[in-house]
Amino acid sequence: MIGQVQTDARERPLEFRDRRDNLAILGFWFFLGSDVVLFSCLFAVYAVFQGRVAAGPTPRQLISLGPVLVETVALLTSSFTCGLAIAAMRRGRTGPLAAWLGVTMLLGAGFVGMEIHEFATDVRLFGTWHQSGFLSAFFTLVGTHGGHVSFGVLWGAALLVLLWRQGLTPRVARRLYTFSLYWHFLDIVWVFIFTVVYLAGKIT
Q: Which window, 26-34, 101-109, 139-147, 161-169, contacts another protein (CB under 8 A)? A: 26-34
Determine the Cα–Cα distance for residues 190 and 104; give it in Å rounded to an integer.
16
Tell the smallest beta-carbon distance from residue 9 to another protein (Å): 9
Q: Does 45 bind another protein (CB under 8 A)?
A: yes
Determine the Cα–Cα distance for residues 16 and 104; give it in Å rounded to an integer.
23
Instruction: Quote the distance between the C-alpha of residue 64 and its chain's center.
Output: 22
Tell the smallest beta-carbon distance from residue 90 to another protein (Å): 7
Determine the Cα–Cα distance for residues 189 and 139; give it in Å rounded to an integer.
15
Pick from 93, 90, 94: nearest CA to 14: 90
How many residues bind to another protein according to rule CB under 8 A? 55
Q: In the complex with another protein, which residue's Cβ is closer, 22 or 150? A: 22
Q: Does 113 bind another protein (CB under 8 A)?
A: no
Determine the Cα–Cα distance for residues 179 and 184; give it in Å rounded to an integer.
9
CA angle 28, 25, 169 (to 5 degrees): 130
Residues lying near another protein in the complex (CB under 8 A) are found at 2-3, 5-6, 12-13, 16, 19, 22, 25-26, 29-30, 32-34, 36-37, 39-41, 43-45, 47-48, 65, 69, 72-73, 76-77, 79-80, 82-84, 87, 90, 180-181, 184-185, 187-188, 191-192, 194-196, 199-200, 202-204
